[in-house]
Structure 1
Amino acid sequence: MRRWTPALLLLALLACDKPPEDGFQGYAEGEYLRIAAPEAGWVQEIAVAKGQRVEAGVPLFTLDATRERAAAAEARAALAQAEGQYADLLTGLRPDEIASIEAQLSEAEANLRLSQLTLERQEELVRTRVAAQAQLDQARAAAQQAEARRDRIRADLAVARLPARRERIAAAEANVEAARANLDQAQWRLSQRAIASPAAGVVDDVVRRAGEWVPASGTVVSLLPDGATKVIFFVPEARRAALHPGDRVAVSCTGCPPNLSARISRIATDAEYTPPVIYSRETRAKLVWRMEASVERIPGAPTPGQPVTVRIP
């Protein structure tokens, strides 16, 4: 008996390493999306209910957007003002303003002609010694002043017909771009007050209700996307080395369709004792490796929390 005892113990250990005939026991687990509020605010409307199926892009909930709408309107008005200033610099003065300068120029030319005639008369009077030299000097100064005023108004009219300097135009253009960026940011923040589903799936839970205050990053809706269910099962050391990520395993459960399969997505790097909560008939002291497998997206696939049996081909 002493000779056969080590051999019997070895056979017993090997028997423990063999998988059970009905496969490895495990359970389904979901990888949920916690749809949260990007910023704090009052929940205005919840558009879905628990257990409802939604498609990608379907509205889930909205937050109060009074402040964001006002900010978008203010940014829109600022952009319109900046665009108006930019267009004004490109076109120069308005036609009415140019007409006013042209009238001033006509008046200045008339005054210049009158001053020149007065100067000619004073020169004739000085030659005939009828008028004094002082009157001639005064007439000559008046004529020069009228000519200078005519030239200044003529230059003002030429400038009025030109657009603004390139530096001012560049600054106005930069103001337009800044105002447009502010409007884009305000509209984006407004769009963040209405949250849509990022993927197709089933609403697992609705955490908030309309009228509640939700903090920033606070979960409002929990969503289980299609194809986000995986199978968790535990494999003993003897079978671990034969399995690799990407291998297919057969999955069966109550009410599940036949020939249901899953693909191994992750194998734990460290061994662990069989968890106390697991649907297994094997000894609790046995070391196992946790494995995860993605379940095929077909009707009737196991739901999170449902016990399953995994068989390895």
Structure 2
Amino acid sequence: MKTLVVGLWGAALVAGAIGCGDKQVAKAPPPPREIEVVQLAPSPVRDASEYLGTLMSRQSVTVLPQVAGYVRKIHVRPGQKVEAGAPLLDVDSREETAALETAKAQRTSSEVNLEQARRTRTRLESLYKEGLASAQELEQARAQVEALEANTRAAAATETQREVQLQFNTVRAPFAGTVGDVLVRMGDFVSATTPLTSVAQADVLEVSVSVPAERARTLRPETPLEVLDESGKVLLTSTVFFVAPQADPRTQLVEVKAAFRNTVGLRPAELVRARLVYNTRNALQIPALAVVRQSGQPFALVVKEKEGKTVVERRPIQLGTLGELAYVVEGGLKEGEQVAVTSLQALRDGAPVKVKAQQSPAAAQAGAVAGGGAAGGSR
């Protein structure tokens, strides 16, 4: 009997020890996760759209000859910059040169005959005063002088015409610019309809974009237009000076133009990215990497106070355009609310958190990029 009592007492001690051990093994709840947040506040955002634009020179011509003949000399090469009046190429001018020499000889002959006729008239006038010449002879001398004066003027005009015609054999640049491709070679026969080359002025360019008609109705004078590089960086900024009065009947798009001084080496006929800024307004923005996507629906983790605890609430939101650092919030969030920007993958709806610091949306976006980002894998 004594042995049985001792055994029962030992079993009771063992059971008690096991019960105490179970209480010690039970895990305590994890501490709230420390996160960084941003507090939403309105900031200026732009209502802008991007289009494909075409650059055009404000001065660009295709050079044609004004005479027919064989190309004797080419003075320029493609891509060369020329001044106004600089020679581009020469067309065979031997025929025009001979015609000019003939005109000069005719003028000289007329001047000699005119001088002789004037001397004869002067002599007859003296003889007429002395009664040694008749009035008829004097009238004939005077008429001869007038006829030779007219011939001399005609010869001089013919010479001037030949000089002008000879100048056409040297094709010159109509204005300062850059030479395009030279389309003819030495010895080619050209006529007045043969394209020789082109000259384009690239110091001031126009950019032309086609926008939807409903967007064109909202345009106003001096609407900003930005020319972008391939990475989206602004190269040049200008303002709209022309909006087409009617839409293209085939595409229903409206042409819009802006001009700018070309300081970055763009070329006419180049295609560029262009952005029209229709309006500027105040709106809430959320850092791009603070957005969690699920099945295409964007969510934000909003910090809330619930039953005395700080937790995050997974809330669907509506996003607008994406800027350089953040999305425009069109719905689902309110001014003054705090949104988590770190540890997004580890947070679940209703998870307790501890707010570490508040940042501006731009600073939060920069920090998330520097830290490797946490939202990319939750989309």
Q: Is the TM value for this pair above 0.5?
A: yes
* Total equivalences in the alignment: 229
Match of 1:155 in 2: 132
TM-score (norm 2): 0.52
Paired residues for 1:105-144 under 5 Å: none
| CA shift in 2, pair 1:255/1:301, >3 Å | farther
1:155, CA displacement in angstroms?
2.0
> 1:257: Cα distance to partner?
9.3
CA distance in 2, matches of 1:172, 1:38: 33
Identity %: 25
Shift of 1:241: 2.6
Instruction: Report if aligned partners of 2:53, 2:273 keep a CA contact under 8 Å in 1.
Output: yes
SS of structure 2 residue aligned to 1:312: strand
1:1-313, aligned counterparts within 5 Å?
21=48, 23-30=50-57, 32-92=60-120, 155=132, 165-227=141-203, 229-243=205-219, 249-254=225-230, 260-272=236-248, 287-312=252-277
Indicate the larger mover: 253-262 or 174-183: 253-262
Aligned-pair Cα RMSD in Å: 3.7
- Could you tell me how far 1:224 is from its partner in structure 2? 1.1
In the alignment, what sits opposite 1:98?
Answer: none
> Cα offset for 1:26?
1.8
Partner of 2:281: none
Partners of 1:291 and 1:56 lie apart in 2 by: 30
Cα offsets for 1:233-283 (capped at 9, x unmatched): 1122233134367765332234999562345454333324896xxxxxxxx
Structure-2 change in CA distance of 1:257 and 1:181 (3 Å): farther
Unaligned runs of 5+ in 1: 1-18, 96-101, 103-152, 276-286
Q: Classify the secondary structure of the residue corresponding to 1:270.
A: coil
Q: Which structure features the higher share of strand residues?
A: 2
Q: Which stretches of structure 1, 4 residues or longer, exceed 6 Å deviation after superposition?
A: 157-160
Q: What CA distance in whole angstroms lies between the structure 1 residues aligned with 2:50 and 2:220?
A: 18
Local SS of the residue matching 2:180: strand
Amino acid at match of 1:40: A
Change (3 A) 1:45 1:305: same
Q: Which of the pair is proportionally richer in helix?
A: 1
Helix, strand or coil: the match of 2:237? strand
Higher relative contact order (CA 8 A, sep 6+): 1
**Aligned residue type for 1:166:** R
Partners of 1:39 and 1:217 within 8 A in 2: no
Mapped to 2, the partners of 1:169 and 1:300 lie a distance apart of 65
| In structure 2, C-alpha distance between the alignment counterparts of 1:35 and 1:190, rounded to whole Å | 18
CA distance in 2, matches of 1:56, 1:257: 35
What is the TM-score when the length of structure 1 is the normalising length?
0.62
One-letter amino acid matched to 1:76: K
Residue number in structure 2 paired with 1:143 = none
The verdict on how the C-alpha distance between 1:88 and 1:258 changes in structure 2, with shifts beyond 3 A counting, is farther
Partner Cα separation in structure 2 for residue 257 and residue 72 of structure 1 = 60
AA aligned to 1:58 is A
1:207–1:222 Cα contact (<8 Å) kept? no
What do residues 21-63 of structure 1 show as CA deviations (whole Å, max 9, x unaligned)?
4533323234631011112110111111111111112110110
